[in-house]
Structure 1
Amino acid sequence: MSLRLFHRLDNAKTQYYHFKAVIVAGMGLFTDAYHLYSITPIMTMLAVALLGAAIGQLIFGRLGDLAGRKRLYGLALMLIMAGSIGCGFSIGTPKGYILGSLGFFRFLVGVGIGGDYPLSATIISEYANKRVRGTFMAAVFSMQGFGILASSVVTMTVCKIFSRIYHPSTIDPKPKEADIAWRLILMLGVIPAVLTFYWRMKMPETARYTALVENNVLQATEDMERVLDMSHCQIAEGCFLQPSQWTQPTSSYPLFSKQFFLYHGRNLLACSTTWFLLDIVFYSYPVLQSKIYFKDQLDEDTAFDAAFKIARLQAIMACSSMIPGCIAAFFLIDRIGRLIIQAVGFVLMAIVYFSIRVPYDKYRQHHPSALFIMYGLTSFFANCGPNTTTTTCHGIAGAAGKVGAIIGVLMASLGTGVTLIIWGGVCTAGMVATSMFTKETKGTSLEENE
C-alpha cells in the first residue's frame, strides 16, 4: 500500500497546497537570509551565527528523522524568534558584555536557522511530485534572495529615518542612537517568522515520514486526502489490502553503518563536499563587498550613511543577480538536470573570478561598472547552480556547508587579490567534485534514489 501511496504522491498534479507548502517552507529561508545578511554593520557576529547554523543542521537534521519533520519545524522557528528578540535586548556594560550577549543570541538564531534548512528542504521534497520537485526546491531557495532584499530595505529605511531625526551630517551619530538602530534592524526579523508560525503548525506530517517511519499508512492516506485534491479511493486505487496490513517495515540499518555508506555514502560525500566549497565563496563575499566597491570611501561617512550604502549595494545585487539566478534555476533544474547546472555554475564562477583577478586594479580604477557586472554574474551562476542544487542528505551536508562558510568569512581578511584566486580555485574544485561524485536525480522519485 505504501508504494502505491508514494506513486500517487509522485504523480499528483500540481495544485494549491503545493504552492502553499512552497511559501511556508520558503518563508523559513526568507527569515534565515534576513538574519544572516542583516548583520552587515557588525560582521564579526556572522561567524557566530554560522557556527550555530552548522550545529543546528546536524541536530535538527537527525531529530527530524527520529521525531518527525512537523514536530521540529515549529521549534526551529521559535529559536529564531527568541534569538531575534534577544539580539535586540542584548544588554550589559562595558561594551564587551553587550557583544557577548549579542553573540549568544546570534548563536541561538543560527541554531534555529540551521534547523530550518534541512526541515524546509525535506518537507518540500517529500510533498512535491517527481516531475517538478527540483522546481519547487528552486522556488523555496529563491526566498533567500528576497530575504536578503528585505534585510537591505529594512536597513536602508531605518538608517534614513535615524539620519533625518538626528541629522548626523557633520558628526557621527551618538552611540545611543546607533545602538537603537541596529537593535531595531535585528528585531524586525521576527516578523516573517511570526507570520509563518501558524501555517507551519497547521501542516500535517509528510506522508512519506508517516508511512515509512511511523508505519501508519492509513494516517498518511488521510493526511493526503486533507491537503491534496485526491480522494481516498484515488490514493488506494487498485489496492485490496486491509487497513491492518497497511504497514511498511522500517530501515534495518542505522545511521553511519556499512549499509548506510553503501547506499548513501556517495551522495553524502558529493553533496557535503560541493556545499562546503560553495559556502566558502557564498558567505565570504558579503564580508568583502564593501571593501571591493567602496575601498576607503566609507571611512568619511557616518555610521548610518555607511550602513545605508552597504545595504543599498546588497539590495542591488539581490535584484540584479541573486533573484534572477534563482528564477533561471526554477525553469532549468527539471529540464536539463541538477548535475549539469551545478557543474556549469561552478565552472562559470571560477572563470569569472580568475578573469576579475588578473586585471583587478584596472577594473577597480577605470571600469567599476564592469567589476560590478562580473561580480553579479558570479552571484547569478551560484544561484542558478550549486546554491539551488545541493539539497541531498541535507542536515549533514548543510552543516558541512556552514563549516565552509565560517572558513570563508575568516578568509576574507587575506586581502581581495588573494581571496579572488582562492575563490576561483574553490569553484574549480567544486566542478571537479560535481563531475566525479554527484548523481543525477532529475525525474526520479525519492524511493528510487533510496
Structure 2
Amino acid sequence: MQGFGILGSAIVALIVLAAFKNAIIADVTAVDYCWRIVLGVGAVPGLAALYFRLTIPETPRYTMDVEKDVNKAATDITSYLQKDEANGEGENAGNHVEVPKASWSDFVSYFGKWNNGKVLLGTAMSWFALDIAFYGIGLNNGIILSAIGYADTHEPDLGERAYNSLKNMAVGNIIITIMGTIPGYWVTVAFVDSWGRKPIQLMGFAVLTVLFIVMGAAFTPLKEHSIPAFIVLFTLLQFFQNFGPNTTTFIVPGEVFPTRYRSTGHGISAASGKLGAIVAQVGF
C-alpha cells in the first residue's frame, strides 16, 4: 500500500494546488496553506490504521506463545475458520505451554546466540542499507525531477513560478510512481511466495547496486545528452527498489522472529532503517 500512498499524496497535492491556484498566483505565501492541508489529509489514513491496530484481535499464535493459553488459541482458530463468534471456551483458564516469557535476560540469551543474533543483524542492516538509498533519493527528488523536466519553471512572476513548479513536481511524482513504484510492488505480490523473500531481496539489492553505479557515474552525460535513457534507468531504479528490498525488508522481520520478540525484532529493524535515513540526510 505504500506505493498507493505515495501516489495518493501526489494526487492530493495536485488537487490542493489547483484549488489554491489563484491565491498562490496572487500571493505566494498561500502555499503555506497547501502543505498544511496535504499533511492533514495524510493523517486521516494514519488515524484509521491506528484504530484498526488498537482494535484488531490477537492472533492464536500470540495467545498460545505469549499468553500461554492453548484452549483460547484453539477457540480463536475455530472462530476464525468458521467466521463465527467464539463459543465461550476461550474464557476458561485453559492449558498452558512452557514458552519463555519475554524479558531482558531472555532477550539477551536468545539473540546472544549467533544463529538468532545474525537474523536480527541481517534484517536491521538490510533496512539500514535500503533507507540510505531510499531517503537519499527522496531528499534529492527535486534534482531528479529537474533532470526529467518536472521541476522549476522560469516565469517572471513569483506566484506563477511557485504554482507551476509545485504542480510540475506533483505531476512528476505521479508519473514516477505509476511507471516504477506501483508495478514493482505488485510484481513482488505476484512472486513473493513462489520465488521467496530472500531471493527477491538479494536480486533487488544486486540490481540496485548496478543501477546506482551506472546512474552515479553517468549522471551528467545522461542528464545533458540522453534524458530518455535517464528516465528509463530511474524508472528501473524505482521498480527494483519495490520489486526487492523496499518490500521484503518489511515482510521478513515480521516472520523470522519468535512471537514474543516479533514486534521487538521488527521495531529494531525499522529503527535501523530510520538511522539509515538520518545518515542519508546528513551525509548527502
Instruction: Give the shorter-chain TM-score range.
Output: 0.7 to 0.9
C-alpha distance in 1 between matches for 2:74 and 2:189: 29
Query: Aligned in 2, Cα 1:306/1:231: closer, same or farther, shift over 3 Å?
Result: closer
Which residue of the partner structure matches residue 35 of structure 2?
A: 182
Shift of 1:364: 0.5
Q: Is the CA contact (8 Å cut-off) linking 2:64 and 2:70 kept in structure 1?
A: yes
AA partner of residue 158 (structure 1): V
Asked if structure 1 preserves the Cα contact closer than 8 Å seen for 2:192 and 2:200, the reply is yes
Distance in 1 between residues matched to 2:24 and 2:169, nearest whole Å = 19
Greater shift in the superposed pair: 181-190 or 297-306: 297-306
Seen in structure 2, the aligned counterparts of structure 1 residues 361 and 310 have a Cα distance that, compared at 3 Å, is same
Is the 1:159–1:304 Cα contact (8 Å) retained in structure 2? yes
Alpha-carbon displacement from aligned partner over 1:290-343 (angstroms, at most 9, x marks no partner)? 113316961636333222222221111111111111111112121122221111
Residues 1:271 and 1:248: Cα distance change in structure 2 (over 3 Å): same
* Distance in 1 (alpha carbons) for counterparts of 2:144 and 2:52: 41
Q: Does 1:219 align with 2:72?
A: yes
Equivalent residue, structure 2, for 1:16? none
Residues 340-384 of structure 1 deviation map (CA, whole Å, 9 limit, x = unaligned)? 111111111111111223332221022212111111111111111
1:366 has 2:225 as partner? yes
Contact 1:276 1:401 in 2 (8 A): yes
Answering whether residue 188 of structure 2 is matched by residue 316 of structure 1, we say: no
Q: 2:97 aligns with which of 238, 248, 268?
A: 248
Alignment of 1:121-140 (within 5 A): none
Residue 261 of structure 1 is matched in structure 2 by 112
One-letter amino acid of the structure 1 residue matched with residue 14 of structure 2: M
The 5 A counterparts of 1:72-83 are none
Instruction: Verify the 8 A CA contact 1:159 1:305 in the aligned structure 2.
Output: no
Decide whether aligned partners of structure 1 residues 174 and 337 sit closer, same or farther in structure 2, where only a CA change above 3 A counts.
closer
CA displacement at 1:222 relative to structure 2: 2.9
Following TM superposition, by how much is the alpha carbon of 1:197 offset from its aligned partner in structure 2, in angstroms? 5.0
TM-score, normalised by the number of residues in structure 2: 0.81
Q: By how many angstroms is 1:411 displaced?
A: 2.8
User: 1:156 matched to which residue of 2?
Assistant: 14
Matched letter for residue 411 of structure 1: G
- SS class of match (2:274): helix
Secondary structure at the aligned position of 1:335 is classed as coil
Tell me the residue number matched to 1:166: 23
The CA deviation string for residues 152-197 of structure 1, in whole angstroms up to 9 with x for no partner, is: 000111112211x3261xx7x332x122111111111122234445
Q: What fraction of aligned residue pairs are identical, expressed as a percent?
A: 30
| Count of aligned pairs between the two proteins | 257
Q: Is residue 205 of structure 2 the alignment partner of residue 356 of structure 1?
A: no
- Structure 2 residue matching 1:246: 3-state secondary structure: coil
Whether contact under 8 Å (2:127, 2:270) holds in the other structure is yes
CA distance in 2, matches of 1:274, 1:200: 25
Relative distance call for 1:364 and 1:220 in structure 2 (3 A) is same
What is the CA deviation profile of residues 272-301 of structure 1, one whole-angstrom value per residue up to 9, with x for unaligned ones?
A: 111101100011112212113316961636
Q: Do the aligned partners of 1:162 and 1:181 also contact (CA within 8 Å) in 2?
A: yes
Q: Which amino acid aligns with 2:95?
A: W
- RMSD of aligned alpha carbons: 2.6
Whether the aligned pair in 1 keeps the contact of 2:187 and 2:243 (CA below 8 Å) is yes
Query: Aligned equivalents of 1:188 and 1:270: distance in 2?
Result: 35
Contact 2:24 2:31 (C-alpha < 8 Å) held by counterparts: no
1:380 matched residue in structure 2? 239
- Kindly indicate whether the alpha-carbon contact (under 8 Å) linking 2:63 and 2:73 is maintained by their aligned counterparts in 1: yes
> What is the letter of the counterpart of residue 236 of structure 2?
L
> Structure 1, residues 240-290: CA drift from partner, whole Å, max 9, x if none?
xxx766211231673542333215201001111111011000111122121
- Give the conservation status (yes or no) of the 8 Å contact 1:287–1:409: yes
In 1, Cα distance between equivalents of 2:201 and 2:47? 34
8 A contact 1:224–1:230 mirrored in 2: no
Q: Which residue of 1 aligns with 2:257?
A: none
- Asked if the contact 1:216–1:246 (Cα under 8 Å) also holds between the matched residues in 2, the reply is yes
